[in-house]
Amino acid sequence: MTMNNILKSIAILTVALPTFTSCDNYLTELNPNETTTEVFWNTLSDTQSGIYATYAVLRNDYVLNIRQEAWRSDMGWPGYGRPVPQNNDEGWSWYTHLYNYTTDAISRKWDALYTGVWRANQVIYALENRIDREALSAEDQSKWDYQMGQARFMRGLMYFYLSSAFNNGSVVLRKNLIQSTSEFNQPLAPAEEVLEFYRADLQAAYDLLPYTNPSGQAYVGLATKGTAATILATSYMYTKDYDKAEPLFYEVITDKRYGYELVQDLSKMFTTAGEFNSESILEISYSLDQRPDIGTWDDNCMYNRLNSMTTSTVGCLVPAWLVWAYNNEEMDPAVPENHLDGDLNKALRNVSLRASSMVALINDVTTPYYITGNTAEQPNMYGGPKAEWGFGKYKKYTNHDIVTEEKAVMSGKNVVVNRLSDVYLMYAECLLVKNDVQGALNYINEIRYRWGLKLLGTTGKYSSRTYDGKTYSKEEVLHHLQFVERPLELSVEGHQIRWQDLLRWGLLEDDDNNIFKKLSTDEEYEYWTNNFAAVKLDGTPLTDLKRNCTLVKTKPSGNPKTQFINYEYDDAAMNYRKSYNAYYPIPQKEIMNNTAIQK
């Protein structure tokens, strides 16, 4: 039985939680039909079910807010329509930084994360107070340790997300299982206290969890020592404590006991066939199976909706600057896969293998997209004289490799939250901080090698591959990480990866170095649309033209229908203020219901 099937079969556990109101009294009699602490949490089987229920929280779309974070950062154009998107008020408000404490996605994220905290606290409480570890057999003591490691990891992860996302890191710190109104009404804890608390959880998880999950287990996808190490190191990265982040990243990369390796088989990158591959560190398991008690739009459903959220008329489409970057990655001519039919004597592909794996581009004519055709053959994929749709769609969360047409709303495709290439690039940045420029290039080149891209620098361990021949300074390597390697490798992935990068690099300050000002005013990020003579996947001309076009740097001659793309991020630059937008605010609902933080 897989984790999918186990999570289908368990009930969502919300054991004996009183309903708190503004009144002094609350419900004290237990519902005889409700599972309570009097009849549950007495065995390791009970607590294991609690672990599954805690992990199920990750399936809630709002935990990661992938679409909202794409709009909020520099990773997403808000769907149909240019220069102003149509019928997408939510996307436009995120894109222009007009979200606030009443914004629905902010409130839902808060609720989802604290649901995870609550469920983890249930398990921790039961293990510490209902199951006597010392009275267990040696085998069951190992199970107890494993479950405690999982619960501490999930609570630490939830607070890592809360601390990273909300109120400069100052959030409500619920360390124990809530059993009274007074325990619910907690003030905002100082950011440093929250940071110390969740790092202690992650360290405990690291100490308790094995390098790999035990063989013969009936589930896959739960955290290991490597998962805890990665999240803990990432938390150090976000606070620029590079000396503590570096050894943990190095351990994850080099210690063979973890079993992590960069995937070299590109058919296993962002495809169903590649789920839980050797590069996956934390991955959310989904299924198209439905529980009869959960509706299509319920946040506890078994499937994810990112297939639609990243491609529809109100999706997060690839912004022009990123389309240009993907289109212009330098391929290594020495790699056969970069040539048509894998023949070194034939022309190079239109776009890189990395671009083909991650985004659907009009001019990627040789890569199947939804099996029967290429990108240009699919409906609603054009920039057009009015550039209604844009110039690219994200592939990472779609089922383009297994179906000819996306099933509306629902997808059973897993979501990778953390993977090894991110660790490589963060480790490279740690080396760069120590002025080890060549070391940083070596780890960046490991990523580029697997995609068949030109390697950076003058020399390295891959003597048969092509290097770009440049001598890089520390500043140039950092710029490459900021505007090429990390955004192209990790676009719309994980929990706020791009936003946290920008914040750490000082690109979200209220100055001329602000990312939105750069994208709005720098001529480097201005483009013109240009007609593209698209062909079908079989190489024949595409006769039913869908106004296909690409981006160019200079205005095309003799084409009156071209459009100047110089408006992206104008409104974002005008509205962004670090004090208001760098972090989510505490949601209105929490302020209203939690008397300890009412203003």
> Which residue do the tokens 């190490």 mark?
229
Q: Where are the beta strands (DSSP E) in 420-554?
A: 527-531, 549-552
- Written as one letter, the residue type at 475 is E
Other C-beta atoms within 10 Å of 28: how many?
6
* Mean per-residue pLDDT, 7-21: 35
Q: Is the pLDDT of residue 8 over 60?
A: no
pLDDT the model gives residue 296: 67
Other C-beta atoms within 10 Å of 375: how many?
27
- Pairing state between β 564-565 and 280-284: unpaired
pLDDT the model gives residue 38: 63
Share the mean pLDDT of the chain: 89
Contact 584, 109 (CB under 8 A): yes
Per-residue tokens: 77: 């154009």
The long-range contacts involving 510-519, CB below 8 angstroms and separated by at least 24 positions, are 510/576, 510/577, 510/578, 514/573, 514/576, 515/73, 515/74, 516/74, 516/569, 516/572, 516/573, 516/576, 517/573, 519/74, 519/321, 519/568, 519/569, 519/572, 519/573
* Share of residues in the chain with pLDDT > 90 (%): 73
Per-residue pLDDT reduced to its tens digit, 558-596: 776 788 999 999 999 999 999 999 999 999 999 999 999
Per-residue pLDDT reduced to its tens digit, 129-167: 999 999 999 999 999 999 999 999 999 999 999 999 999
pLDDT the model gives residue 302: 78
DSSP category for residue 61: H
Lowest mean pLDDT among 72-76, 310-314, 404-408: 404-408
Q: How far apart are CA 174 and CA 256, in angstroms?
A: 37
Which pLDDT band holds residue 31 (cuts at 50, 70, 90)?
Answer: low
Contact 191, 94 (CB under 8 A): no
For residues 497 and 215, the model is more confident at 497
pLDDT the model gives residue 565: 92
* Mean per-residue pLDDT, 433-439: 98
Q: Is the pLDDT of residue 28 over 60?
A: no
Q: Is the pLDDT of residue 195 over 50?
A: yes
| Burial call 558-587: b when 16+ CB within 10 Å, e when fewer | eeeebbebeebbbbbbeebeeeebebbbbb
Per-residue pLDDT reduced to its tens digit, 168-184: 999 999 999 887 777 88
Q: Is the pTM of this model over 0.85?
A: yes
pLDDT the model gives residue 199: 98
